[in-house]
Chains A and B, each alone.
Chain A
Amino acid sequence: MIRARTLTDARQQSHSNAELNWWIFMRISGLILVFLILGHIYMTFIQVSESDATFDAVVAKLQNPAWKFYDWLILLLAMLHGVNGARYSIEDYVRSRPNRAWVKGIFYTVCAVIFLLGTVGLFSI
C-alpha cells in the first residue's frame, strides 16, 4: 500500500509500475463512482420506494441499453475499486505470507465469480 500525500511521493514509494497504476486508478475510478453511485442511489432508493423494485420494474428498466451500460460500468469500476481496496486491507492485516496467499486467492475467486454473475445477468435480458 502506498502511503503518499502527493503524486510525487506515490511515484517514489511505489515498488512497481503496477502499484502506482493502482494508486492512480483508485483516484480516477473513485471520482467517476461518486457520480455514478450517488446517482444510482438517488434514482433507485431515495426517489422511489424499495417496494417499487419489482421484477417487472427491473426488467423494464434494463431493456434500455443506456441503463445496462450505466449499471455495468458501476459493476466494473466498483468491483475493481473495492477488490483493490480490500487487497490493501488484507496486505495490512494478514501478516503471514502463506495465509495472505490463501485469503487473497479465495477472495479474488469469489469476487470474479460474482462479477461474472452480474455481467451475465445484465446482458442476458
Chain B
Amino acid sequence: MLEPSVKGRDFASTRQPAALHTQEHNKRRRKSKRQEEEEGMYRGREGQWAFLLHRLSGLAILAYLLLHVISISLFMFGERAYMAVHRTYDLAVFRIGLILIVAGVVYHAFNGLRIIVMDFTGRGVAYQRQMWYAVLAITVVSVLYTASMVVPRILGGY
C-alpha cells in the first residue's frame, strides 16, 4: 500500500484535464496499482530479499530432489537404464547446473539457520540484516570452492 502522501503526489503531478477519458483514467489507475505492488515488494529491504531467495531456492531444490530421486531410482531397472540417463549428467551443462544447485542449497541451509536464530533468540532479529550478508558471503565462498573443484574436471574431461 502506498503512503497517503505518495498517493497525493502521484495525482497532483499528473495535471489531468477535468474530463479525463474513462479508458485513460482506468489505465492510469492500473498503472498506479502496479507501482503500488512494486513499491510494496521492496519495502522489506534485505528481509524481503532473504525471504524471496529462500522461497525460490527451496522450490528449486525440491524440483531437483524429485528429478534426482527419479533418475537414481533407475538403477532398479539395471545398468543400461541407469547409464542411459546418467551419461548425459557428465555433460558440462549438467555439472554447471549442479554448481547452481550447490549455491541454492548452501543459501537455503544457512538462511534457514538464520531463521532459526531469529525465531528462538531475541538478538537474532536485531542482527538479521548482518546475518543475511554473512549468509550471502558463505554462499559465494562455497560456490567458488565448488567451482574450483568441478571446473577443472569439466575442462579436463574426467
Contacts and interface: CB of A to CB of B under 8 A. Distances in A.
A binds B: yes
Contacts of A79: 65
Nearest to B145: A46
B106 A38 contact: yes
A35 to B, nearest CB: 9
B104 to A, nearest CB: 11
Contact of A7 (B65, B66, B119): B119
B105 interface: yes
Contacts of A115: 69
A95 interface: no
Say which size band chain B's interface belongs to: 35 or more
Interface stretch (A12-20, A81-89, A97-105): A81-89
B102 A4 contact: no
Nearest to B54: A85
Interface string B115-137: 11011101001000000000000
B105 A41 contact: yes
B89 A50 contact: yes
Contacts of B153: 49-51
Nearest to B61: A82
A5 B118 contact: yes
B146 A46 contact: yes
Contacts of A51: 90, 153, 158
A113 to B, nearest CB: 10
A37 B61 CA distance: 11
Given A7-B120, A114-B70, A120 B102 contact: no
Contact of A83 (B62, B109, B125, B158): B62
Contacts of A27: 115-116, 119
A94 interface: no
B62 A85 contact: yes
B55 interface: yes
Interface in A96-125: 110-111, 114-115, 117-118, 120-121, 124-125
Interface in B78-99: 79, 82-83, 86, 89-90, 94-95, 98
Given A58-B82, A86-B58, A111-B66, 10 more contacts: A5-B119, A6-B119, A27-B115, A30-B112, A49-B158, A50-B153, A51-B158, A82-B62, A114-B70, A121-B73
Interface of B: 55, 58-59, 61-62, 65-66, 69-70, 72-73, 75-76, 79, 82-83, 86, 89-90, 94-95, 98, 102, 105-106, 109-110, 112-113, 115-116, 118-120, 122, 125, 145-146, 149-150, 153, 158
Across the A-B interface, give the 5 residue pairs with the lowest CB-CB distance, nearest first. A82-B62, A121-B73, A118-B69, A55-B79, A30-B112
